[in-house]
Amino acid sequence: MHRIKRVLNVILMLGAILLMFSLFVPFRSHTGGGPNTRAEATAYNLKNSISAYFTEYSEYPLRSPDIDITVDTRNRLMNILMGSDAERGDEGRNSRGIAFYFDRVAKVMKDGRFYKGISPDENGGGILWDTWGNPYHVRLDTNFDSKLDDPESPGTTLPESIAVWSASKDGNFDTWEDNVKTW
Ligand SMILES: [Ca+2]
Ligand SMILES: [Ca+2]
C-alpha cells in the first residue's frame, strides 16, 4: 500500500514538473531575455534620457544647427547625459549637473574592452557599451525639422527626433539585418 502511494506521488511530481516546463518554456521564448532584448532596452533608456534632457534644457545635448548630428555613446555625449563634473556649471552642456542616464557598470571582456553598461571615469562621466563591446550610435534632430535621415536607408527619412542603434553581435553597423534600433 505504502509502495503504491509512493509510486503515485512520484507520478504526480513528474506530472507537475512536466506541466511547469510546458508553461515555462513557451513563456520564456515569448518574452525573450536574450542579448538583443537587453541592447534594445538600453537603446530605449538612452533615447528616454535624451528626451528628459530635452525637456529640461529645451535643446539636445549637442548642437549642430545645419545637419542632424550623429555621435556614439563615448564621453562627448555621455558626460553630458550623466552630469559629469566637466559638463556642470555655466560653461558645460548640463549646467545643473542632472544625471539623466543611469546604468550598471560595464563588464570587462577578455580582450580588455567593455560591454553591457557604463565604464565610468573619475569625473562622473563615462562611455556606454552595448552587449557586444561597442558603443551605440545616436542621431539627433539638431536642425529641428522633426525628421532624421534613416541610417538604415540613406535618402529616406524617419519621423523621429532621436534614433539609437547598435551594430549587434557582428560589431558592424553596416549589416542591418542584426542591428538593434529604436525605430
Ligand atoms: Ca532633422
Ligand atoms: Ca550588424
97-122 tens-digit pLDDT: 999 999 999 999 999 999 999 999 99
Q: What angle do CA 19, 21, 25 make, to 5 degrees?
A: 130
Name the residue with cell 518574452: 31
What is the 159 CA–ligand 1 centroid distance (Å)? 9
Give the ligand with the smallest distance to the CA of 169.
2
* Alpha helix positions (H), 34-111: 35-57, 75-81
Reported as a single tens digit per residue, the pLDDT across 56-110 is 999 999 999 999 999 999 999 999 999 999 999 999 999 999 999 999 999 999 9
Distances (CA, A) of 14 to 7, 25, 131: 11, 16, 38
- CA 78 to CA 81: how far, in whole Å? 5
CA of 157 to the centre of ligand 2 (A): 20
